Every structure is written in C-alpha cells, then in structure tokens.
Amino acid sequence: MVQKQERAKEERASMTVKHPHAAGIDIGSRSHWVAVPPGCDGQPVREFGSFTGQLHELSDWLKSCGVVTVAMESTGVYWIPLYDVLEAAGFEVLLVNAEHLQKVPGRKSDVKDCQWIQQLHGFGLLRGSFRPPAEFLELRTYMRQRERIIEDAARHVQRMQKALTEMNLQLHHVVSDLTGVTGMAIVRAIVAGEHDGHKLAEHRDSRCKQPKARIAAALQGTFKTEHLFVLEQELSAYDHQQKLLRACDERLQQKLAELEKSAAAPHDPEGPLPQPCPPRRHGAPKGNQPRFEIQSPLHHICHDVDVTQIPGLAPATALNLIAEVGTDMSKWPTEKDFTSWLNLAPGTRITGGKRLSGRRRHSRQRAGEALRQAAVAVGRTDTALGGFYRRMASRKCAAVAAVATARKMAVFLYNALKHGKTFMEVGLAHYEKQHREQLVRRLTRQAAALGCQIVPVRTEPPAGGP
C-alpha cells in the first residue's frame, strides 16, 4: 500500500500543471469549501457560507490568492448563485458534471473533495459543461418554466377526468379532448350546477362529430357532492395554470423581440443582401404551442437562416432548441462533438481493442429529447427523413430509428447555425431512388466476389404485348 501511494505521488509530480492559478470548490447547500494551490495562501482550504455577502467574500479571497480559473461541481441548483458571482468578477468558471469527478481514495470529506477538484483542474483534466450566454439563458428559463406549467395543467386535467369517471360521466367516450371547446363548456356547466344530460349536450360545438343524443346519454351520472367539489377545485387550478401560461408567453414574446433587435446589424452596401424569411411551411399552432409569431424572429436571431425548414422542427420546437443551445456553435468544433453532447451518438466502451458496448449513456438532455420527439413526428411524413426513419425502424426498432433520425436533424441544425447552410428537401422519391442505387451497388460487389453477376429484370410488360 505504501509503495502504491508513493508511486501515485510520483505520477502526479511528473504531470504538467496547465493551470497553476486554479481553484476547486465543493458546492453545498449551507456552505462551500474552496481550495487554492498551497503556495497561494497560508490557509489554502477555507469554508464560506452560502449567503450573498459570503459569496462576495469568497470571490475577493480568490482574487487575493491570484486565482484565474475556478472549477466547481454542478450540485443541484446551489452552484448557480456562486457561478454568477464568480463570472461577474471576471473568473474563468468551469462547471463540471459530478459524474466526471472521481473522488480521491480514502476518507470522504468536503475538504478532500475541493482539494481533489483543484488538483484535477490544475492538471487540466476537467471538462466544463455547456452553459448558454446570458441572453439565451433567460430565454431557456422561460421555456423550461413554460414546460413545467404545461405539465402541471396536464395533471389537473387528469384529476378532472378522474372526478368525472367516479360520477360515471363518460364524457371521454364522446369527446376526444376534455380541454376542447365542447369538453370545457360541459365541465364548466357541471360545476355551475347543471346536471341534466340533455341540457349539458346543448353545449356541443358544431364541429363535434358525436350527436347530441349520444352526448346526453353519456352524461347521465351520479353527481355526488364530494366529486363535484374535486371537479370544481381542479377546474379552478387548471384555469390558473392557463393564466400563468399566457403570462409566460407574453414574457417569451418580449424576449424574442429583444433578441431580434440585438441580432439586427446595419446592412453593408457592399455585402450580400439579407435573406427574407421563407414562407411558413407549418400549419396553425395546435394544443399548447405558443400563439405568437416565432418563425420570423428566429430567422433574424439565427443570422437569416430559417431552421424551421428542417423537417420536424416546428416553430415551437425550434424555439426550444435555440433556447437550449443558443446560436453560437463554436463551443463544438465538429458536428460529431455536437451530436455527442446531445446524447445522440453511440457509446464508445473499448478495451484491449475490443468494443464492449455501443449503448448510449443515461442522460436527460433536453435538446436531445426534443429532437427525438421531433424525429418520431418526422417518421409520419413523406420526406427523405421520414423514409430514413421508417427504414431504420424496420431494420432495428422505433427507439433506434428515433435516435438515428434525431442525429441527422442535429447535423442539419449544426450546419445551419455554424455555416449558414439552408436545408433543402430532396423528397421521398429521391431518397428511395438513392437507397435503391446503393443497394444495387452493394449486391453487385457481393455477387462479383462470388463469381456471379446481377442481371436486371423488367417488372413491367413490354409495350404492345399481350
């Protein structure tokens, strides 16, 4: 054991220090432990509280120690206030995934953790997590809040449905969407005190496919007091969530206008003319999608490139992706780095020259999830990507096809934002023809290797034949 420890010390001593003025911070909810190089201060490890004033004291102490760059763990949301303080003070802050840090062997403590982080960062062995710029960070916060509001509203709809079922009101058998015009009108009438099925059926919208007689028959129930109380409570909560959603959309629209204004640059008379926004290729917003204009502001924010031309990227989906990744692709040198960050690339577990597994890591990457959901929708379209999805699904499975298609969409997005390449749809017929030609070339090579030859066969009868 002593020999192993001495050998480890020799290996660490032989490594080159890349960041001599680096600090490591172990994040906690009540306090943060900070470690600096031993020669910078007589007490190289200190504890600071989590209050705002104590965070500024931490920043001042790091400056007095000559620290330039700082590494910290991404523990919950406790790192965000300290990250903002250090970034505003001019430090280079490295946010590190806790899974990427191997704890120092021996007894576990916050002191050893911060020293271990400082040592790893000093040797340049840590890789920082991506965080979008401040303007897109604000946009991302609004989009994530909007997603949480929609999830909360969905739970209230489920509870309304449960209360109706407990009263044996089979509204879901005659109305496809409880939050539609007909469904909400009937629910509000029930809460208002109307319990006659025929009168409730009068709230049927003209676009509803079910006749009034069948709706009236489905609305003959028990109408118990306790279930009516639950229905009223959940309807009130649902209305409150819709009010919050409208307020969030207003803030989103304001932020988009600010980003569009800041992205607008004076036109150079000698340069190329700015490209106009292409016509809308998606229908009217449906469901919980924002009701304000998204395509035109995004076109200017993305430097006159319309990312909504990529199949599957509806304006709402494109807005979600831009909020998560921003428009600066310089953080990822190549498209492979970008797709790997999105968790859309296969895993690389190789030892001794043998590949152990290609399974992707478990990660809730929001941008990658959005692309996978969009890929499933693309699979139902008559586009080249739709044909690719269906071909992959027939060979592997739907989950693999979703990841493979999402990776292609991510590459298109990367090239559009980094190189300004506009996506051009080639069509399903072109993709199927290209795939057939590739298949014929592969079979020709295989037949030649076996000493055979492929002979084309006409599948249609000749002209003038019987």
Low-confidence ranges of the chain (pLDDT < 70): 1-15, 102-108, 265-275, 350-353, 356-358, 459-466
Taking the C-alpha atoms of residue 225 and residue 167, their distance in angstroms, rounded to an integer, is 10
CA-based nearest residue to 169, from 208, 227, 239, 234: 227
Beta-carbon-side half-sphere exposure of residue 73 (alpha carbons within 13 Å):
22
Question: Given this model, what pLDDT does residue 135 score?
Answer: 86
pLDDT of amino acid 1: 45
Does residue 322 contact residue 305 with C-beta atoms inside 8 Å? no
Could you tell me the pTM of the whole model? 0.82
| 3-state SS record for the chain | CHHHHHHHHHHHHHCCCCCCCEEEEECCCCEEEEECCHHHCCCCEEEEECCHHHHHHHHHHHHHCCCCEEEEECCCCCHHHHHHHHHHCCCEEEEECHHHCCCCCCCCCHHHHHHHHHHHHHCCCCCCCCCCCHHHHHHHHHHHHHHHHHHHHHHHHHHHHHHHHHCCCCHHHCCCCCCCHHHHHHHHHHHHCCCCHHHHHHHCCCCCCCCHHHHHHHCCCCCCHHHHHHHHHHHHHHHHHHHHHHHHHHHHHHHHHHHHHHHCCCCCCCCCCCCCCCCCCCCCCCCCCCCCCCHHHHHHHCCCCCHHHCCCCCHHHHHHHHHHHCCCHHHCCCHHHHHHHCCCCCCCEEECCEEEECCCCCCCCHHHHHHHHHHHHHCCCCCHHHHHHHHHHHHCCHHHHHHHHHHHHHHHHHHHHHHCCCCCCCCHHHHHHHHHHHHHHHHHHHHHHCCCCCCCCCCCCCCCCC
